[in-house]
Chain A
Amino acid sequence: MSEPLLQAVNLECERDDRILFRNLSFSILPGTLTRVEGPNGSGKTTLLRILAGLNDSYSGDLLWRGKHRHGYREEFLRNMLYLGHRPGIKPLLTPMENLRALMAGRRSLSDKVLWQALEGTGLDGFQTVPCRNLSAGQQRRVALARLLIADEPLWILDEVFTAIDIHGVAALERLLAERVDNGGAIIVTTHHELRLPSMQRITLGGGDDYGL
């Protein structure tokens, strides 16, 4: 339908003398959801960190809109949102302060919008409570509030459903589906069974027997 946002060409990654994957090629098109699958330790998180640009011990090429990503760092980062295992939330700050700090480098939004985003993730009334007084699930919701105000076309989400209750999961699924309908590209890992249509799957094998 349109040009791929991100393309991986012959990715190979070796970690601690073990090949996690090799000859891995795929394209991420706008308006698609891609799920990275595989058993524990198969390198799902590593792959996501490589795609996000956090980990650069790989060989192979990563193309951002058809061009080598190296030269387009700023453009790539402006158009990509990554949420990792660690939510990026400072326990001493309130959800509002955290969200403000996380968005500061990306978009200038009024406090009202941020407040509403936190409301939207079910944190109404907790906006000014220090995050260390919140539960693990609530802390993750602070990070997820970014998804409500993020306009980056590419989302890379590592285990976003962790510690989220059933209602939250359903709402998040709706959000992701809607996002894809609107033309966003999403890459996820999850152990949760996603109820989403038209998923692209990338399956990583387990360890030594793969490709050797």
Chain B
Amino acid sequence: MASEFRVTLRSPDLSVGVATAMKAVFLRDVKTAFRQPQDLLNPLLFFVMVVTLFPLGVSPEVSFLQQAGSGILWVAALLSVLLSLDHLYRHDFDDGTLEQLVLQPQPLFLLVLAKSLAHWVLTGLPLVLLTPVLGVMVHLEGNSVAVLCLTLLIGTPVLSLIGSIGAALTLGLRSAGVLLSLLIIPLYIPVLIFGTGTVMAASEGAPVAGQLALMGAFLVLALTLAPFASAAALRISLSNS
């Protein structure tokens, strides 16, 4: 081993850009996920199976499914995201990449944002893409399916962002999974209400632009606030380890 450089203090501006660092974080997560495709598939399978339970457990009647379908799909998507959250930081915590992430000179909340976005691309987005198929299976009409996909498209990133806070807070704790659900489910309620409410309004022929805009506002709020809370929570959890 040999080193070939002189030791000098590094000036702060002569640095790698924040965008580069965020991209690297994002790409690493995506790459890691694709090396283990089963982990990508599991939340999707879970989503499909939970939806299947309702016709079997409650009623396969078209009228019931039409009425409850959007709610069923939303709840199943929510649970599916919830299930995948436990992994968000756990592997990084175990193998030490999380320590290195926190020690990167870039603002931690931006790196956390990159990780949350990767999580959404890997779990939320596939759920949205699968929704039309399941929408047909629960006899939703075309218009309702479209609005449902739209609400999930706006809503699932919020689930990832808020979930990231819970995942960071429960990092390294015993029975973190159940605790995580306890902390996060109440915070998911507004998104769920507006997600399903919008689809319901659409199926009754009411205009939904206002509600979609409101969900967009939720997303903006989550994008701006959640990464800060997640970053703070990560520091606390690492401090404890």
A, B bound: yes
Interface residues of A (CB under 8 A from B): 30, 52-57, 73-75, 77-80, 82, 84-93, 97, 100-102, 104-108, 120-121, 130, 147-148, 151-153, 171-172, 174-175, 178-179, 182-184
Main secondary structure of the interface of A (DSSP, over half): loop
How far apart sit A127 and B25, CA to CA, in the bound complex (Å)?
20
How far apart sit A86 and B235, CA to CA, in the bound complex (Å)?
17
User: Is the Cβ of B10 less than 8 Å from the Cβ of A79?
Assistant: yes
Q: Answer whether A121 and B96 are a contact pair too, CB < 8 Å, given A90-B32, A100-B24, A108-B20.
A: no
B3 at the A interface (CB under 8 A): yes
User: Is the Cβ of A89 less than 8 Å from the Cβ of B1?
Assistant: no
Within B50-108, the residues touching A (CB, 8 Å) are 91, 94-97, 99-100, 102-106
Q: How far is the CB of A96 from chain B (nearest CB, A)?
A: 12
Which of B10, B25, B35, B100 touches A92 (beta carbons < 8 Å)? B35
Q: Answer whether A105 and B16 are a contact pair too, CB < 8 Å, given A54-B103, A88-B96.
A: yes
Within B7-23, the residues touching A (CB, 8 Å) are 7-10, 12, 15-16, 20-21, 23
Chain A residue contacts of B105, Cβ below 8 A: 73-74, 77-78, 105-106
User: Is the Cβ of A174 less than 8 Å from the Cβ of B1?
Assistant: yes
Chain B residue contacts of A183, Cβ below 8 A: 6-7
User: Is the Cβ of B28 less than 8 Å from the Cβ of A97?
Assistant: yes
Please name the residue on chain B nearest to A101 by beta carbon: B28
How far apart sit A194 and B94, CA to CA, in the bound complex (Å)?
29
Q: How far is the CB of A178 from chain B (nearest CB, A)?
A: 6
User: Is the Cβ of B7 less than 8 Å from the Cβ of A88?
Assistant: no
Which of A56, A85, A130, A172 touches B96 (beta carbons < 8 Å)? A85
User: Is the Cβ of B28 less than 8 Å from the Cβ of A151?
Assistant: no
How far apart sit A88 and B24, CA to CA, in the bound complex (Å)?
15
Q: Answer whether A77 and B104 are a contact pair too, CB < 8 Å, given A120-B2, A184-B7.
A: yes
How far apart sit A130 and B35, CA to CA, in the bound complex (Å)?
10
Q: Answer whether A121 and B1 are a contact pair too, CB < 8 Å, given A90-B97, A106-B104.
A: yes
Which of A97, A178, A184 touches B2 (beta carbons < 8 Å)? A178
Interface residues of B (CB under 8 A from A): 1-3, 5-10, 12, 15-16, 20-21, 23-25, 27-28, 31-32, 35-36, 91, 94-97, 99-100, 102-106, 111, 235, 238-240
Q: How far is the CB of B17 from chain A (nearest CB, A)?
A: 9
Chain A residue contacts of B239, Cβ below 8 A: 54-57
Chain B residue contacts of A148, Cβ below 8 A: 1-3
Of listed A53, A54, A179, residue having the most chain B CB within 10 A: A54
User: Is the Cβ of B16 less than 8 Å from the Cβ of A182?
Assistant: no
Q: How far is the CB of A95 from chain B (nearest CB, A)?
A: 14
Q: How far is the CB of A85 from chain B (nearest CB, A)?
A: 7
How far apart sit A162 and B96, CA to CA, in the bound complex (Å)?
15
How far apart sit A172 and B1, CA to CA, in the bound complex (Å)?
7
17 residue pairs of the A-B complex, CB under 8 angstroms, read A54-B99, A54-B103, A77-B105, A79-B9, A82-B103, A90-B91, A101-B24, A101-B25, A105-B16, A105-B20, A151-B8, A153-B8, A153-B9, A175-B1, A179-B3, A182-B5, A183-B6
Which of A56, A78, A104 touches B20 (beta carbons < 8 Å)? A104
How far apart sit A58 and B15, CA to CA, in the bound complex (Å)?
30
Assuming A104-B16, A105-B25, what are 9 further A-B pairs, CB within 8 angstroms?
A54-B103, A88-B97, A89-B97, A97-B28, A101-B24, A104-B24, A104-B25, A105-B24, A151-B7
Q: Answer whether A86 and B96 are a contact pair too, CB < 8 Å, given A100-B24, A104-B24.
A: yes
Q: How far is the CB of B87 from chain A (nearest CB, A)?
A: 13
User: Is the Cβ of B12 less than 8 Å from the Cβ of A92?
Assistant: no
Q: How far is the CB of A53 from chain B (nearest CB, A)?
A: 7
Chain A residue contacts of B2, Cβ below 8 A: 120, 148, 175, 178
How far apart sit A175 and B24, CA to CA, in the bound complex (Å)?
28
